[in-house]
Amino acid sequence: MKKYNLSKIMKMAWEMKKSYSCRALSFAQCLKRAWDMAKTEYQNSLVPDKFTDGMTITVDGMTRTLSRWTKGGYDRIYINGGSRRGDGFVDLKSRRMFLRGELTYQIKMAEKILAMTF
């Protein structure tokens, strides 16, 4: 099984090099950025489809622990780790995310949680 599509990475690097915003970069820098994007994409694809309580999830290099809390008519998945207060939670009944900060890895993580089966 191949992890990376080398042709896609090379094409992405050439497109970056040709773009207006990256014209000052060398091709080696564009290729490094393309590899970083491919590695991040691959790592994000490793997130499991089925939820288990206490599982860890890694998105964009950030690893967090997920815990399910069900009580009093609520059904939530808490995203713990990183800071003392955690990153927030996803309400499974309303299908909404309540995050502490709107960082891209938090949003991607919440979207992955909503896509999981329980």
Q: Where are the domains of the chain?
A: 6-45, 56-115
Look at residue 50 in the predicted model and tell me its pLDDT.
83
Look at residue 1 in the predicted model and tell me its pLDDT.
46
Alpha carbons 71 and 114: distance in angstroms, whole number: 19
Alpha carbons 20 and 7: distance in angstroms, whole number: 22
Per-residue pLDDT of the chain (118 residues; tens, 9 = 90+): 468 889 999 999 999 999 988 889 999 999 999 998 888 777 767 666 788 888 888 887 788 899 999 999 999 999 987 666 788 999 999 999 999 887 888 888 888 888 888 7
Look at residue 11 in the predicted model and tell me its pLDDT.
95
Look at residue 3 in the predicted model and tell me its pLDDT.
80
| CA trace torsion 62, 67, 70, 71 (10° rounding) | -100
Contacts of 58 (CB under 8 A, 6+ apart): 43, 46, 47, 64
Question: H helices then E strands: how many in the chain?
Answer: 3, 5
Q: What is the pTM of this model?
A: 0.63
Look at residue 71 in the predicted model and tell me its pLDDT.
92
Query: Count of CB atoms within 10 A of residue 26's CB?
Result: 10
Look at residue 47 in the predicted model and tell me its pLDDT.
66
Residue 93's Cα: distance from chain center in Å? 22
